């Protein structure tokens, strides 16, 4: 399993997932516009993502390619949350989510369909 993504790393991964493969220069421009980061901050975080195995750097041009899909990362984060907060119990997670939530009949039907299709 890959290491955990910190919030700053997740912000750059979102850019790479949306645009990738993408040059580090373009990532830094997008990060400056959307997050307000300077080039040095962006390059530091990109190097961390490389060392953690989330992206690959290809030359020339320091092209960043995601090695982990967004879907894979979402699943890993959910597994981590379930393990950490709910002691590994998916039932406890769903119970917590549904405890105070008002659901429409359509939403309940959709949830039932998802569970039945599993």
Structural domains of the chain, with CATH = 7-66 (1.10.10.10), 70-117 (1.10.4040)
Q: Quick check: pTM over 0.85? A: no
Whether residue 60 is preceded by a cis peptide bond, meaning omega within 30 degrees of 0, is: yes
Strands (E), the chain: 22-23, 55-58, 63-66
Question: What span, in angstroms and rounded, lies between the C-alpha atoms of 86 and 71?
Answer: 21
* C-alpha span between 118 and 103 (Å, rounded): 21
Q: Which residues pair with 65 in a beta bridge?
A: 56
What is the predicted pLDDT for the residue at 2? 64
Residues of the chain predicted below pLDDT 50: 1
pLDDT digits (tens, 9 = 90+) for 89-102: 998 988 888 887 78
pLDDT of residue 1: 46
Residue 26 CB coordination number (10 Å): 17
């Amino acid at each position: 399993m890959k290491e955990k993504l910190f919030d700053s790393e997740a912000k750059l991964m979102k850019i790479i997932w949306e645009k990738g493969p993408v040059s580090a220069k373009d990532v830094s421009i997008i990060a400056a516009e959307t997050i307000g980061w300077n080039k040095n901050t962006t390059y530091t975080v990109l190097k961390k993502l490389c060392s953690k195995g989330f992206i690959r750097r290809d030359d020339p041009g320091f092209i960043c390619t995601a090695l982990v899909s967004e879907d894979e990362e979402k699943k890993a984060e959910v597994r981590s949350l379930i393990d950490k907060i709910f002691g590994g119990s998916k039932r406890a997670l769903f119970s917590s989510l549904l405890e105070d939530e008002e659901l429409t009949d359509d939403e309940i039907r959709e949830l039932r369909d998802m569970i039945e299709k599993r």
